[in-house]
Structure 1
């Protein structure tokens, strides 16, 4: 099968391209910008484009599929050529469904926790040598590529994202998967640039639940009132399995899960991660993994990449980085950090750089998000606001919306870096929350 990727360099797209190459497909692609690690990984597989840019001549009638990434625009010349030739154009999630439509599809959805839960499930299955197809949005220890597609496997585990499928398909990605088994971890307004109201956002999850195949299974977080409301109002038929935060205690800085089989020591921490773990346990149970085997495997789970991930520093300072940027994720990460390090001085850094996080209306969702930290720092770039053509935001407005007048607010990367250099990283503990890089800050030094 011959496939061509328009915008092959994306974090998700390049993983799919590699998976198809490994499956034996002929893979080509184009992009106008390809960064690391995508560049090296594509080059290693022999599918890195020879030059950057868009080349309509690559689009021929001999292609079986064209896969369109979100990075491409509607007026992309390769897309125009594909339409002209009448080729089948897939979005990323649409193609994943096509590859898994004869398998049992397990889809993990939610505003927060979906990457961690998917990672936990895959870790447990891998530990017990249960082979499945999968797609997950973070790098996992022991996994080379974050997409796996085979002809043989009966199950496919998919991280279900509510964001748009492609520039020409404005449906939420997870609406294309039609899960046989689903999980919903939580609902908290996100992607305000696409979903203008909270109800519009929640409606995507209503549609997701409605897309569960008849007689399927939904595992859901019963501690989230919005999730419960969506589940209770669903009109289609499926089996409902609720879950909640399990009992645990922290002994000498290590989390121990309280189970019928005794205490289970974990390598992760935070109540939200234990809630994620419980959801993963129920999903694994539906896949034939007994509790004893689940606990045996989960003890060695160290977390998904950039999810409360410990950074190894030259000075041995204690520093964790987290992908958290949406309000619910920030609050969960801060709460976990404060609980884990009760007796240490806690520094928390948050970078605001997504469209939603820089919107004054949406900023209200961050109220009290940094409470509990001895030093709370928020950074956003005034240049980023200009690039996004957004109105300036004052540091005073940030403090007001966060309901924290003790916040330190930086709008210039150089000033942030200068402050960072004044801190002795061997004293206190540090939590760095961003889907960016704090203007190029090196967290290892």
Structure 2
């Protein structure tokens, strides 16, 4: 492979890895000041744990020999020893590392649903088991030769499109987030407006880092294709995200009377989520429309937790689950050549819906069962008194802002 493609692979891997600290900043700014260390540590904990698990056995599980296989054999290349000594080890290890960054951020995204009230050790146990039982197999289903990847061939329909993770990352994480929010229950005094972001600049910094890294997230895999579609992917990643900011702010202005900076940051993330599965398969005009729709709908969807009474602290469900579903299903209507309105028929929409629904249900069920088991054994949620006091000092023995009195 040419050195330019290899250089882009390294760059894209670094960009996507940076997204997990971006999530930490984004989430950290949204919580109260006495919970910011706990919130950011869940992202950094995922970064450490999932990296190790991916190298040991996750990568081996992320590809299958036949579409009927649930996941790859975790012991097929335990620790990547064989991959490191093969004839194409240079590029193979780059691909494995790039895949690791997706696994890391998928797990980190879930943590926003349980902000202010989760034990760190319990979170780490959940993260490791959920990644093993859900993310690694789902990655094989979607990208590693599994049943979702082959669904179109099986049904005689177009192939499922999920270029960078609408199902494998965002629907997957969003469904697990909903399950954990239900298991851990509501924060003390949960109601609309009770908590406000303690550090808005931190939220904007996190969103900016995410947008920056997302060019590697969406366009990174093009190093395997000789960068054939990189221009389309890059312009769509820019356009859909920008349009989603506008869509969110318009809804926010009509709904609440003010367009906020946190709304702009949230709209950007909603647009990034929605364009993730569709970035290589939409004309730029349709990507702009997707962004507007995702921003507007997600701005309304974040209110669902108050209507239905579940405490998704940082709106993982409203942004990642809803945004992932929008981006995945949108392809059924507007995917280049195969969408219902762009030269195709209902076949593309059918396979997109099957894939989205299957991943949603599987992730939710496993996450709920796992979270429930942890809560009933070692406990997942901190004591109410610790939550009210702020869990940073209780769980980590640290304060985010140690100001010396003069």
Q: What's the TM-score, normalizing by structure 1?
A: 0.31
Bigger proportion of residues as strand: 1
Q: TM-score normalised to the size of structure 2?
A: 0.34
Q: Which has the larger radius of gyration?
A: 1
- Higher relative contact order structure (alpha carbons within 8 Å, sequence separation ≥ 6): 2
More helix by proportion, 1 or 2?
2
